[in-house]
Structure 1
């Protein structure tokens, strides 16, 4: 039965691993096939910009969450963002707040002149400066303490088109003007990533509370599963010999009140095992001598065998009816028996 359970466990583990690999493979394939994504190595991908920024000495990364969670002190690059995502009311609010706090957005958008109609973040922004005029209708808007650098015609910045050099030069100039060492390429605006990650929503304090709750649950489950005298349960009852014996003793005590007799049986078995372990044979064994010899043996150091034997004999002789004391004596006898069985 044990082999069957191990086999089932291995099958479940392999199945879950296979599912995880398939899901990961699908996710990677989706990222690599998304147009204007920095994961994409194809003609319509923009991985070349990611590599270019890295080669120029900037610290680069990808960002796959809402603007609500953007860190400060970074420049974010958004290449041909999906209009329905970047123009969402909440997303627009969080993005504008982030820019006005002193951060920079490099927005590589369409070539149409109606910029404010296409990207609501720039709606009503009449004042701007022409930048990198040698290549395209590129603009810089000051917004609060931050700025938006707008580069027109995102099709010029793909892996296939940027070999013309001019768009690459304009992009590097934009990074330099942004004055931030850390550059994040936004993939959330391509439909990748998650809008509201749970750990980000609950914040640092919430994570600590969640970790404490999980730890408390684990400890509670561990304590409940390790109650002394009760067998552990995994797929079936796993019998631990000493616990099963004590559990049986407890039942006998509850039903027959005969614990002194039970202890006597266990004690006699203990004496025989100890005598045999120390090399005493025959019917006429002087157990006082056995206990004295055991007391000197370093294997039983600190176990006070003579005192334990005296307590057991007194309990049996006086027919004491004390469950806790009987269990205490039994546990000590079992500790010595475990040393003998090694």
Structure 2
């Protein structure tokens, strides 16, 4: 009898940090799967950790061309599941699933409404307000200076200024005074948020700069709290983990379980709210603890994250949930350790890339590796 082809999982932006983390969570469990990736850049070592790779244009630059390339790829692969690895991928897949529903081609996402709300932080604030979730006070800067000044009067300095669409603290500024704030008036691409951290620490840091000069490397390092939920296609909550992240230069270096019932209850409320809005699949909630001891939310993501591999090591199998509930694929049981660890250290890894593989991918748009 002919052997059945291995179920194919297709990753959008597979060479990203998120894609690498998903592969890490599948280590030792990918036998019997065919893992394929689409990426806009060929010279990425992680791309060749997949079984097959395809080159496509950047989604943001030309969505129509990307869609045509996507159609070509899925026609040949017939994947059992498509997993988005970047925020833009999530919103694009959600819109496509609504425009072209196909039960035989599941995407790991939910409805386009909540997908766009997660992509746009002003819309995130609106969704949170509808459901009574403690999202940081937020104001879009596409308004006049008077409204910005009123926001500052109510919430005080410093304020956070960040891109409406962005992640990983890129393009984020601390606004300290009216002059800096007035420059943001009318900008369509920025939002203001209440600063959730300790303002006295910021002022002490600024006083030190005035006294001693500017450190070559600096950032405001505070523990970040995160929730990772998984919402099944029927809207039920299948998994929830709370973690505390020790931050260094904007990256989490240590991830530890956080069993605070208050934080876990917040995760359940968020999952219920997003499920009501039509979201399905992974849900990431970024929080910070306020000086008053409350948890304030400042960002949502509808995907796996750069800490997915760390959470797998803590015993939370969000990737397995996605494959089972959306792709109908049960991964083989992995032997559990004697005791799951309470914390995981995240370390950088040096990688090299085979020049011949990159050349082939750039020339043909396709690379096929040896079966693992």
TM-score scaled by length of structure 1? 0.28
Structure whose CA Rg is larger? 1
Kindly indicate whether structure 1 or structure 2 has the higher relative contact order, using CA contacts under 8 Å at least 6 residues apart: 2
Instruction: Kindly indicate which of the two structures has a greater share of residues assigned to strand.
Output: 2
Instruction: Kindly indicate which of the two structures has a greater share of residues assigned to helix.
Output: 1
TM-score scaled by length of structure 2? 0.26
